[in-house]
Amino acid sequence: MALEENNKEQSAANSFFMLPSFVLSLIEQVLNQALKLDPSLVDKLKEVEHQRLLVEVRDWQQKIAITYANQQLHLYTAVEHADADCMISANINTLLALKNPAMLTQLIRQDKLDLQGDLNIAQRYSSAFSSLDIDWPEQLAKYVGDAPAQQLYLHLQSLQQQSKKAKSQLDSTLISLCQDELAITIHPLELVQFKQQNRALKSQVAAIEQRINALIKAL
């Protein structure tokens, strides 16, 4: 019940303050700042200039259109029938785990990720993203002065919820992977490695969550 109320309030807040757009605009700013600091990425992304990658985050029910143009990344919420040169669709934990482009094909084979269109585009973008080393909470905190505090508070809260969700999903994915899939499809060594990576990711998520908590308290 309380959860339902919460959800309702959240979706009202979403449409009134346009939270998804707001969050995306912050992420876009942070990404572009990071891009400026890493000129090598400009070359990497040059090849996909004006190519549009659509990313569907299944468990968030959000679609994001990403375009690199004029040495900047442009992130927008994607509307229905948005045309793109490549589309990938996966849960957030899968997307977060995308550390190198080679994993793309692996994830597709495992049915964890759908891809339509030009694989090369997804690979380019994902390799650029994964080489950006961004301290998200710290970067987002820089915008405290810019944005109305209430909006940021809501934004951080939703981030917090999302990271919690990501964490619990990682847990359940891991369990189900261990129980049924991995035993038949993956070499035990790979499994060990996968578990290690997951553990690292989990602790990263936990750390982010802690920092967000600290930020919320500081507000």
Which spans of this chain sit near other proteins (rule: CB under 8 A)?
15-18, 21-22, 24-25, 49-50, 52, 65, 67, 69-70, 72, 74, 76-79, 82-83, 146-148
Tokens of residue 59, six digits = 């468990």
Q: List strands edge to edge, sheet with 52-57.
A: 72-77, 62-69, 52-57, 86-90, 113-117
DSSP strands (E only) in 23-99: 52-57, 62-69, 72-77, 86-90
User: How far apart are CB 12 and other proteins at their closest, in Å?
Assistant: 9
Strands 52-57 and 62-69: antiparallel
User: How far apart are CB 62 and other proteins at their closest, in Å?
Assistant: 12
For residue 31, which of 64, 80, 58 has the smallest C-alpha distance?
64
User: How far apart are CB 61 and other proteins at their closest, in Å?
Assistant: 16
User: How far apart are CB 119 and other proteins at their closest, in Å?
Assistant: 21
Q: At what angle do helices 2-17 and 19-37 cross, to 10 degrees?
A: 60
Query: Which residues is 88 bridged to in the sheet?
Result: 55, 115
Contact 215, 137 (CB under 8 A): yes
Q: Which C-beta is closer to other proteins: that of 4 or that of 146?
A: 146
User: How far apart are CB 188 and other proteins at their closest, in Å?
Assistant: 46
User: How far apart are CB 219 and other proteins at their closest, in Å?
Assistant: 17
For residue 68, which of 99, 38, 32, 39 has the smallest C-alpha distance?
32
Q: Which C-beta is closer to other proteins: that of 25 or that of 131?
A: 25
Q: Which C-beta is closer to other proteins: that of 18 or that of 108?
A: 18
d(CA 190, CA 49): 35
Q: Which C-beta is closer to other proteins: that of 155 or that of 211?
A: 155
Q: Which C-beta is closer to other proteins: that of 70 or that of 179?
A: 70
Q: Which C-beta is closer to other proteins: that of 72 or that of 139?
A: 72
